[in-house]
Structure 1
Amino acid sequence: MSGPRSRNKKQQSTKRVNEKQLKRERDVKELQELERQIRDFDPKDVTAFSELPISKFTSVGLKQSHFTTMTDIQKASIPVALKGKDVLGAAKTGSGKTLAFLIPLLEALYRNQWTQHDGLGALVISPTRELAIQIFDVLRKIGRAHSFSAGLVIGGKDVQVERDRISRLNILVCTPGRMLQHMDQAAGFEMGNLKMLVLDEADRILDMGFRKTIDAIVQHLPKHRQTLLFSATQTRSVADLARLSLSPNAAEYISAHEKASSSTPTNLQQYYVITPLPDKLDTLFGFLKTHLKAKILVFASSSKQVRYMFEAFKTLHPGIPLMHLHGRQKQTARIDVTDRFAESRYACLFCTDIAARGLDFPSVDWVVQIDAPEDAETYIHRVGRTARFDSSGRALLLLTPSEQEGMQAKLVAKKVPIEKITIKESKKRSIRADLQALCFRNPEIKYLAQKAFISYCKSIFIQKDKSIFKFAELPAEEFAESLGLPGAPRIKFLSSQRSKELKNASQLNLSVDSESEDASEDRGKSQTKETVRTKYDRMFERRNQNVLSQHYMNLIKDEDATARKPDEDEDDGFMSVKRRDHELSDSSASEADTEQRDRNSRPVTTTEIDNAPVSNRQAKAALSKKAMLKYKQNPTKLLFDDEGKPHAIYEFEDEEDFKKHGKAEEQKTEFINREEQRMREVDMVDKAIAKEKRKEKKRKHRERERLAEKDDVSDGYDEEGMEGSEVDDVPIGGGKRKKWFEEEGRAKRAKADVVEIDQPKTLEDLEALSLSLLNQ
């Protein structure tokens, strides 16, 4: 019976092997056919994804995700990227740039037959966490039929969990900062086999201060890779990044809307209104009251303004659901806000520029910019949150009179068609009194109003384009009153700026005075010169300020402290300088050294240290502990051995000292042999100790058995009734003592064996007793 079964098993295994071989051959033929189709592909008149030369797995993902028709940027960039060329793509916001790089990414890994054992194959870098989450969601939808492993690495999540899984990923979507952190800290994370690098919103990555981070990441990537850069606007910084990341021979620049008459979508209606700064909140509140059944995005320049508007308007109840999104929120809160706003039909989201790039909120009706954007590119990205794909949308920009001329010129230069409108008086509503009452009742709202005022002033002050942002023309008092504050808060950065200006002015006056003094001396005229007193001068002139005042005066005394008499009280010299010269000399000190010490002890205007003159101001500064910290070396930590000798924590041999001990391989072999011998010796000692323990255990066991065999010591006592001194801690009878109920039962059984009789009195009693005894 075993013969036919074994033959059947062999036939089944042979069949499985043949099926696997046929499948591999079929996959190879499909890949070869796909490569041929890509080489011969003509992108003209291609409108649907089904017409692209892509794998069946990607086609299934696109079809199940309801992606059928390609946009302009997808038509132009996908065929080029499929052929393995680098791409620098530019297109309007909302034009489908995400699919333009995700489809070539999946196809590149599929054609290279990428597996989980090959490591990281594609890297996608996004400027914000929200955009990275959105890219990852789209990747999961269109890549559901593939077998690649993908991961999302962004800030705000558990680093250790990401570190344990990052080495097993094939596709990685990340933000720059967290990516660089894992490159430095994650063990086993290799990027040497990377096939594709994607930078989404490249200009925003550089604007947010990630230039050095991106440079560090790119330097660790292999040179033979494919790079895709996409952005809605092309700036000089993007061109610099392209020269760093793209290969100059195979890179192609693709602009889907380069010849378009507008930089924004054609189905977007754009308006701006001139509003004084104190009236902006009134205008915004009136706008919300008249658009209750709309989905609105409101952009502000800082997170503190967003927080204040959300808390204040939430209390005033404009009649529409309110949300807020900014970078100071926790990651879970940011994800929850974006999901809720995307699912809402009517809502208002107060946000910063963190939501201005790449985020796809469906059916946004209005984009309101209560603060002017820093440049025209930021304006384009903000209004790109509405009128995405084939939908329509409207945008409103609030400008102050001082910002109108400069911003309008910038928008016209960027081909942004925008129309000026005016607000009807009947639609306006003043909430200034309500905000003042709210700040009076709620200290938290007042605190948020103060922070919002300071952050807005700082955002205007640090802007580079001074033709638009004119800090000197800000109505500070009126703006503070419009926020509900009784007066304008003090701005610290303005105080520091004014102090710098005063300091520069005093130095300028000093130089002018010195020049005039020199000129007067040449002419033989005397002229007084105003001296500048520093903080060190004021410090040394203080008296009766604290306990150390006299100590400071003793430090600058020009008298010989060594002239104290021996019979003086020791307390008289407390906190005073006993010796001005601390040089230690032996008995053979020369007379020149003695003269040098005498010269140092007398009062002079300048002190000579190493033959270099030092001014009185420098000498006074040298007495300050805080001023001398910059001359000290970095602190070092020492460890002391058993002999008391100090050693650094990390001591390394020089290369020459290392070579003196022999070749590296010989030292390695010697070290291994020495450690093996030491381990054998330690192992022998451990085995001897274990053997002794086993012998002792056996001895105790035999002792217990010997004691259990003796009946006279069953209760733990010797023959004389005294407790045994050697075995009193050893249990009797195999280590188990009798219980109280067992002792009682034994006593009862012994009692049952005894026959109790009465005392015989007559002859009949004696006969009966005799008969009973004979019967037993």
Structure 2
Amino acid sequence: MPHTNGKEKGGQNWRSGGNERRKRKFNGEQDASVTKVLKEKRLLKKRKQELKGQEEIMLESVGQKYQEMLKKSTRTFLRFEDFPLSWRTLEGLKENEYVKPTEIQRDTISYSLTGSDVVGAAKTGSGKTLALVIPVLEALWRAKWTPDHGLGALIISPTRELALQTFSTINAVGKHHGFSCGLVIGGSELAFERNRISGVNIIVCTPGRLLQHMDENEQLNCDPLQILVLDEADRMLDMGFSKQLNAIIGNLPAERQTLLFSATQTRNVKDLSRVCTNDPVFVSVHENATAATPDNLKQSYVVVEEENKLNTLWSFIEAHKKKKSLVFVSSCKQARFLTEAFSQLRPGLPVMGLWGTMNQKKRIETFTKFDESKTAVLIATDVASRGLDFEHIDWVIQVDCPAQIDDYIHRVGRSARMDDTGNSLLMVTSSQQDEMIAKLEKHSIPIEELRIDPKAMTDVRVKLREILAESQELKEYAQKSIVAYLRSIYTMRDKKIFDVNSIDAAALADSFGLVSVPRIRFLDKQQNEKKKKKKDEQNMESDEEEEKKPKRDSSLVGKFVIDENDEELFTIKKNGKDLEERLDEEEVDVKKEKEEEEEEKITLKKGKPIKKALTKVGAAKKILNKKLRVNTKKKFEDDDDEGKVEGPSTITSYGLDIEKAKQQLKSVDKEDRKRFKELREQRRQEKLEKKKRRTEEYDMEEAEESDDEPDISWLPDPDAVRRKYAEESDEEDEPMDTEDLEKQALALLGRRH
């Protein structure tokens, strides 16, 4: 079959041609690069094998190298290779392009490698994460730690994002070590962590989740722990983790190394240094610096009232579409509302949100996405202000004033990291300007004022009203964000800067696109308490004034009048009785009242009066003295007779015909009772009809049941039987004639005889 052979031949030629092309491609330009990569991998593998063989020698000599390192000045360590580090750590640093150490890394690594406890402080963005990761890896390497040894290092971070960042750094730098590392944070599955935590060598965690495992998970054993690290230690104290940290430290062994790191070496950090088992070494790199913030950070502020903040923020975002900006607000509800609202307004760049109550999976996705973005806006709370290292942030915008100066330092520290450049913008109101700027200057923070061009501003209120009208959920977010913001202002300690009474709530609600101000319960409660307190003070003042006035004068008020027609300047007129007689009567009444009070009270030895118990006889006398009508009963009858009242009537007529009014009320009452009876009868009939309908429906349902029921059609009709007996009884009930009755009577008498 030549045709078939030709096809097979052609197919063979095609395959051979493809092989030739692949060979040429392999032997072409890419051949050199592929060969080079393969060669490097072989050399690296061979080098690692050689280094593994020399590792025992390195471990024996590392102690001597540490002693020589302490004799040298830290300024001589210009590269990581100058430190006596393991080859595994150096390879990880080299692969991640960490070549030159920063100041905090030079000064702390030299002490932490020797096993000393260290308390380190440095500006934001100075490389503290790597300064704690390297000692952890080296400590376990020196101890020849294996997965079978259990937990060797514990790193505690205040936020989940910071813990995730530290976890990623350890995995990257410690790639060539054989240690297992686990991330234990809130929001993840507890059961998944419980079953795997026993085989982890390094745990990076948040305080709450770690303490939960310590209390509930018997598989977590902290006895072999070698090193403890507290990252952003002061932040954990500010967030209220002091009790949890004390509980955690109580479960750890006493023999361990402890490292503490923070951006500010405050008194709280020094207090926290008591967790160190040995005398710690305090390292503050930028203690003598002229500014507490990075030198490459340009800081500015703008005076904006509360109702204009959203317009200013929106105008800024529109003007910086090609920049990467981080926006800080006070509360989670504000961050959620602004993220949703600005996303719907479509500013021309991605708008993301990051806050504490967000789902953990979404938080990680947002963190990663913003870090990888070149141009974006992230609206966040202070959860993103500590330790997070985002890739080149151009602007840090603080819409609300920070609670403390340390918070300001950490917020602006997200920009200008690792000798990079950056900018920050702080929005303050006119009432906050003087106090806030004075505080910043006191802490050596250089900041200058910027002016806003009103023509460049965009009013976004109309657009916000439109989207709120379309989305009820977004409207609720807006209302909750206003309440949350006012509550945050209300709870601040510094009332000179944070005064909730200086905020126009109506204008603030209008700037959020709301038509009315949402109800703010805590402010209403505060105002009610103030009013009550003011009223009590006024009552106390009036009572004191009344006590100061003579009682005799108060009894004569209204009994004296001025007669202007009299020749004398003032004359006293007598009302009915002579003045002396009236004064005598007043004195007698006062005496009687005093005597009655003395009779009703029993004075103790200490002079404290006790009222007598009121008896039934005394209560009856009081009622009789007040001339009250008691035990009377009004009877309402259906007939036309008037309801009778027992006892005489004391009502007198003054221009009103009482009898006529009684008759009118009587007729109206009669009509009302009649109407009530009719309504009651109508309701009763409706109930009966409803019951009858239900019965009929039930009978119909029974009749429509399945055909599986027994056939009873052969039985006689019960209704027909009833009718028959009814007819017979009717016939028996018919009246008989007189003759028939006589015959029946005679027959009965005859039977008896």
Q: TM-score, normalised by structure 2?
A: 0.64
- Per the alignment, residue 216 of structure 1 pairs with 247
User: Separation in 2 of the partners of 1:373 and 1:317?
Assistant: 28
Q: Residues 238-257 of structure 1 correspond to what in structure 2 (within 5 A)?
A: 238-242=269-273, 244-247=274-277, 250-257=279-286
Q: 1:148 aligns with which of 179, 188, 210?
A: 179
Equivalent in the alignment of 2:86: 55
Task: Supply the distance in 2 between the matched residues of 1:138 and 1:320 (Cα, whole angstroms).
Answer: 29
Aligned mates of 1:383, 1:23 — CA distance in 2: 44
1:360 has 2:384 as partner? no
Report the alpha carbon displacement of residue 381 of structure 1 after superposing the two structures with TM.
0.7
**Identity among equivalent pairs (%):** 45
Counterpart in the other structure of 1:158: 189
C-alpha distance in 1 between matches for 2:423 and 2:60:
49
Considering only aligned residues, what root-mean-square deviation do their CA atoms show, in Å? 2.7
* Counterpart contact for 1:375–1:410, Cα < 8 Å: no
Task: Confirm whether residue 195 of structure 1 aligns to residue 226 of structure 2.
Answer: yes
**Structure 1 residues 55 and 484: alpha-carbon distance in aligned structure 2, compared to 1, 3 A threshold:** same
Is residue 471 from structure 1 mapped to residue 500 from structure 2 by the alignment?
yes
* 1:233 Cα deviation from its structure 2 partner: 1.2
Alignment of 1:268-667 (within 5 A): 268-502=297-531
CA distance in 2, matches of 1:524, 1:192: 86
Q: Distance in 1 between matches of 2:539 and 2:176?
A: 77
| Structure 2 letter corresponding to 1:368 | I
- Residue 35 (1) aligns with residue 63 (2): yes
The alpha-carbon deviation at position 494 of structure 1 amounts to 1.3
Which secondary structure does the structure 1 equivalent of 2:194 belong to? helix
The aligned amino acid for 1:33 is: S
Give the Cα–Cα distance (whole angstroms) in 2 for the partners of residues 524 and 159 of structure 1. 81
Aligned AA (1:311): E
Cα deviations across residues 204-230 of structure 1 (Å, max 9, x unaligned)?
A: 111111111111111221222111111
Q: Secondary structure of 2:135's partner? A: helix
**Matched position secondary structure for 2:362:** helix
Among 146, 153, 163, the alignment partner of 1:122 is: 153
Structure 2 partner of 1:88: 119
Distance 1:160 1:601 in 2: 69
Deviation string for 1:397-435 (max 9, x for gaps)? 111111111110111122111111112233211112222
Using the TM superposition, give the Cα deviation of residue 507 of structure 1 relative to its aligned residue in structure 2, in angstroms: 6.4
- Relative to structure 1, is the Cα distance of residues 25 and 391 closer, same or farther in structure 2, using a 3 angstrom cutoff? closer
Instruction: Give the direction of change, closer, same or farther, for the CA distance of 1:39–1:439 in structure 2 (3 Å limit).
Output: same
Structure with larger Rg: 2
Distance across 2 between alignment mates of 1:178 and 1:120? 16
Alignment pair present for 1:228 and 2:259: yes
Q: Secondary structure at the match of 1:40?
A: helix
Displacement of 1:235: 2.3
**Counterpart amino acid of residue 367 in structure 1:** V
Letter in 2 for 1:306: A
Tell me, in whole angstroms, the C-alpha distance in 2 between the residues paired with 1:171 and 1:84: 17
1:439 offset after TM fit, Å? 2.3
Distance between the aligned counterparts of 1:362 and 1:481, measured in 2? 36
1:460 partner amino acid: I
Residue identity opposite 1:388 in structure 2:
R
1:538-571 C-alpha deviation (Å, 9 max, x unpaired): xxxxxxxxxxxxxxxxxxxxxxxxxxxxxxxxxx
User: Contact (CA 8 Å) 1:290, 1:427: kept in 2 or not?
Assistant: no
The aligned runs of 1:100-111 (5 Å cut-off) are 100-111=131-142
Deviation at 1:62, TM superposition (A): 1.0
Pairs within 5 Å for 1:671-750: none
- Give 1:261's match in structure 2, choosing from 286, 290, 298: 290
Q: What's the CA shift for 1:443?
A: 2.2
Equivalent pair of 1:270/1:419 in contact (CA under 8 Å)? yes
- What is the alpha-carbon distance in structure 1 between the residues aligned to residue 392 and residue 297 of structure 2? 13
* Paired letter, 1:440: A
Number of the residue aligned with 2:599: none
2:76 aligns with one of 38, 45, 50: 45
| Aligned counterparts of 1:524 and 1:213: Cα–Cα separation in 2 | 69
Whole-Å Cα distance in 2 between the matches of residues 514 and 197 of structure 1? 66
| 1:296 aligned counterpart, secondary structure | strand
Structure 2: distance between partners of 1:432 and 1:329:
27
Contact 2:299–2:448 (8 Å) recurs in 1: yes
User: What's the offset of the Cα at 1:237?
Assistant: 2.0
Q: Letter of the aligned partner of 1:239 in structure 2?
A: K
Equivalent position amino acid for 1:370 in 2: V
Shift in alpha-carbon separation, 1:237–1:519, aligned structure 2, 3 A:
farther
Q: Match for residue 644 of structure 1?
A: none
Q: Which of 162, 183, 198 is residue 131 of structure 1 equivalent to?
A: 162
Q: 1:517 to 1:173 in 2, by over 3 A?
A: farther
Structure 2 letter corresponding to 1:246: C
Partners of 2:470 and 2:283 lie apart in 1 by 57
**TM-aligned CA distance change 1:111 to 1:472, over 3 Å:** same
2:198 is aligned with 1:167: yes
CA deviation after TM superposition for structure 1 residue 250, in Å = 2.7
User: How far 1:31 moved relative to its partner?
Assistant: 1.3
Q: How does 1:732-771 map to 2 (within 5 A)?
A: none
Counterpart CA distance in 1 for 2:51 and 2:296 is: 50
Q: Which string of whole-angstrom CA distances, capped at 9 and with x for unpartnered residues, describes residues 302-347 of structure 1? A: 1111111122212222111111111111000001111111111111
Q: Deviations over 1:133-189 (max 9, x none)?
A: 000000001111111111100001110111111111111100000000000000131
| CA distance in 1 between partners of 2:270 and 2:552 (Å) | 63
Secondary structure, in 3 states, of the residue corresponding to 2:93? Answer: helix
d(CA) in 2 for partners of 1:392, 1:23:
40
Count of residue pairs brought into register by the alignment? 510
- Cα distance, 1:602 vs structure 2: 8.2
Letter in 2 for 1:216: A
Return the letter of the residue paired with 1:225. R
Find the residue that maps to 1:401 and give its secondary structure: coil
Q: Is the 8 A contact 2:184 2:206 kept in 1?
A: yes
Contact 1:439 1:446 in 2 (8 A): yes
Specify the code of the residue in structure 2 equivalent to 1:161. F
SS in 1 for 2:522: helix
Structure 2 Cα separation of the partners of residues 395 and 44 of structure 1: 32
SS at match of 1:402: coil
How far, CA to CA, are the matches of 1:124 and 1:181 in structure 2? 16
> Which residue of structure 1 aligns with residue 621 of structure 2?
none
Pair 1:603–1:513, CA change in 2 (3 A):
farther
Cα offset for 1:45? 1.3
Write the letter of the residue equivalent to 1:327: G
